[in-house]
Amino acid sequence: DVKVTQSSRYLVKRTGEKVFLECVQDMDHENMFWYRQDPGLGLRLIYFSYDVKMKEKGDIPEGYSVSREKKERFSLILESASTNQTSMYLCASSQDALGTQYFGPGTRLLVL
Amino acid sequence: GQQVMQIPQYQHVQEGEDFTTYCNSSTTLSNIQWYKQRPGGHPVFLIQLVKSGEVKKQKRLTFQFGEAKKNSSLHITATQTTDVGTYFCAGTSTDSWGKLQFGAGTQVVVTP
C-alpha cells in the first residue's frame, strides 16, 4: 500500500512565523503535490514537483515556497505565516503526472 | 483558466434512495478522476475515466464521462450510510499537463 505521511496533524502558529510542512511518500513516486482545502473551495493546488529539485507553481503559489531535495520528501514553506493561510494542507503523490494521486492525512494549520 | 464545477454542493439523501452528482469543465479534459473524502479523512481515489462516453461501475456507483469530455457524473443507487462523505471530481485539461483541477465537491449526508 502507498503511504503518504505528513509531519503534523495539527499546527498552531503566530502571524509572521516561518512554517515548515513536510510530506514523505514511500512508493518512489515521481510526482508530489501540495494542496490546501477550504470549505466550499475544494482542493486548490499550491505547488507540485515532477522530479527531485524541480518545482512548478500551481494555482495559488503566492505566500508559499517548496523544496524537494530527495525524491521521497516534499516540503511546503510559509515564509511569513498570515491568518489567511489558516487551512487544511494536503500532500499527495503519484507515479504518473495524470495518474492516481495518493493523499496524506493532512495538516490542519491555524495561524493566530 | 480551466475550471471544474460540481453540483450540487450539498446532497441530503434518504437511505435507500438514488442520487447523482455532476461535474462540468470549462475545457476539454484528458481524463477525469473521482475521489471520496470521509468526514475527518483525506481524499481517496475511486476511479479514473479516460475515453469519451466511458461508463464504469463499482458496485452501487456508476461513473460516466461525457461524449465531449467536458463533463462527468457519479450516480449512487440504494444509498447507504457508508456513502457519507464528500465526493470530488478532478480533471486534467488537455493544455495543462500535470495539473489536476479539483471541483469544490459534493457533500453527501445520508439519513437513516
B40-97 confidence digits (pLDDT tens): 999 999 999 999 999 999 999 999 999 999 999 999 999 999 999 999 999 988 776 6
Taking the C-alpha atoms of residue B107 and residue B45, their distance in angstroms, rounded to an integer, is: 16
Pairing of β A10-13 and β A107-111: parallel
pLDDT at B44: 96
Surface-to-core class of residue B4, CB atoms within 10 Å of its CB (0-12 exposed, 13-18 middle, 19+ buried)? buried
φ, ψ (nearest 5 deg) of residue B59? 55, -110
Name the residue in chain B with its Cα closest to that of A108.
B40
Q: B99 and A41: CB-CB below 8 Å?
A: no
pLDDT bracket for residue A90 (50, 70, 90) = very high
Widest CA span of chain B, in angstroms?
Answer: 44
β-partners of residue B108 are B11, B85
β-partners of residue B24 are B5, B71
φ, ψ (nearest 5 deg) of residue B80? -120, 165
pLDDT at B94: 77
Q: Is the pLDDT of residue B98 over 80?
A: no
> With contacts defined as CB-CB under 8 Å, which chain A residues touch B102?
35, 42-45
B3-43 confidence digits (pLDDT tens): 899 999 999 999 999 999 999 998 999 999 999 999 999 99
CB atoms < 10 A from the CB of B77, how many?
A: 14
A22-77 confidence digits (pLDDT tens): 999 999 999 999 999 998 888 999 999 999 999 999 999 999 999 999 999 999 99
User: Residues of A at the B interface (Cβ-Cβ below 8 Å)?
Assistant: 31, 33, 35, 40-45, 48, 50, 56, 58-59, 90, 97-106
Instruction: Return the ∠ at Cα A47 (arms to A41 and A49), rounded to 5°.
Output: 140
Per-residue pLDDT, averaged over A103-111, amounts to 97
pLDDT at B62: 98
Q: Is the pLDDT of residue A6 over 60?
A: yes
CB atoms < 10 A from the CB of B78, how many?
A: 11
pLDDT at B70: 95
